[in-house]
Amino acid sequence: MSWYRNTVWFVKGLREYTRGGYESASKHFNPADVELDVAGRSFLVTGANSGIGKATAKEIARRGGTVHLVCRNKERAEVAKEEIVTETGNQNIFLHVVDISNPKEIWEFAEKFQNEHKLNVLINNAGCMVNNRELTEDGLEKNFATNTLGTYIMTTALLPLLEKAADARVITVSSGGMLVQKLNISDLQSGNGPFDGTMVYAQNKRQQVVLTEQWAKAHRNIHFSVMHPGWADTPAVRSSMPDFYKRMKNSLRTEAQGADTVLWLAVSAEATKMPSGLFFQDRQPVPTHLPLAYTHSPPEDEEKLMQMLEEFSQKFKSVSPG
């Protein structure tokens, strides 16, 4: 069945996920949806020093929003911040150095952030695709630690702050690659069998879709969404998928095109007219399963994922100072 999923996904990708797919979809966009002044609203973007994260942060800054850049690498983040301030003239850009693969760091950051700032919109963009099985200093498989557990902790730790905000939103940048994976809760850290970084990443992205759906049910005052940016020419794609990049580089979207739906979900009034918990591509909700791909999960597996992540997260919270 995996060959069927992969083939259907790739054909779909050639049609929809490339630059041509964006250009076709964008003919139906309403520019007024994102031509807004968002001064006074606070946005937090993880993985904001390059790629789609930086492109999103820059567009929010252009519209007057207060932007918190959460990045792992201080030097690259400072360069990104300076670029955003210079290009947009917006001085309300703040930098926070946090490694999203380190659960203790996320808890400590979130606790401090809640005491010092307000937050209207959280954008979970940070991610990684590590092609060999690597463990973090906490003994966590790195893709899982960053893409799934990091996203879970950042979101749940900031929920109390978001619950207080007007028009609160959480947007998670996922991938159409999740369409080739069925949720697998039996091996969250990919320790069994051969390790395929691309498929581990796709599994993490499926997990993000499930997280979004579960959060939407539990937190009615916050609008949750998850999205696929299409195949974009970003540093992450160039470094993690060199063969794919070489084959597809002339057809890839720009970073700004990849970020367009993130921006739309973050600022437009139209986005929150849609039900919470949906998966978006090019400003439209799209199915989270391919036809006949058998990737649906029983509800108990989805609930179990949430329970397992909560247990993981509390373990790291209990050992953090304060």
- The C-alpha atoms of residue 254 and residue 8 are separated, in whole angstroms, by 24
- The C-alpha atoms of residue 224 and residue 216 are separated, in whole angstroms, by 6
- The C-alpha atoms of residue 317 and residue 322 are separated, in whole angstroms, by 10
The count of other CB atoms within 10 Å of the CB of residue 284 is: 13
Label residues 154-165 b or e (16+ Cβ within 10 Å = b).
bbbbbbebbeeb
Residue with tokens 């973090």: 136
Residue type, position 34, single letter: V
CB-count burial class (<10 Å; 0-12, 13-18, 19+) for 125: buried
E-assigned strand segments in the chain: 42-46, 66-71, 93-97, 121-124, 168-173, 222-227, 278-281, 284-285
User: How far, in Å, are 26, 226, 234, 259, 279 from residue 20 at the CA level?
Assistant: 10, 22, 17, 15, 21
User: In DSSP terms, which residues pair with 279 in a beta bridge?
Assistant: 226
- The C-alpha atoms of residue 17 and residue 48 are separated, in whole angstroms, by 22
Catalytic residue annotation: 201
Pairing relation of β-strands 284-285 and 278-281?
Answer: antiparallel
Instruction: For residue 210, give the nearest of 125, 300, 322 by alpha carbon.
Output: 300
Phi, psi of 21 (to 5 degrees): -65, -40
Torsion sign across C-alpha atoms 152, 155, 158, 162: negative
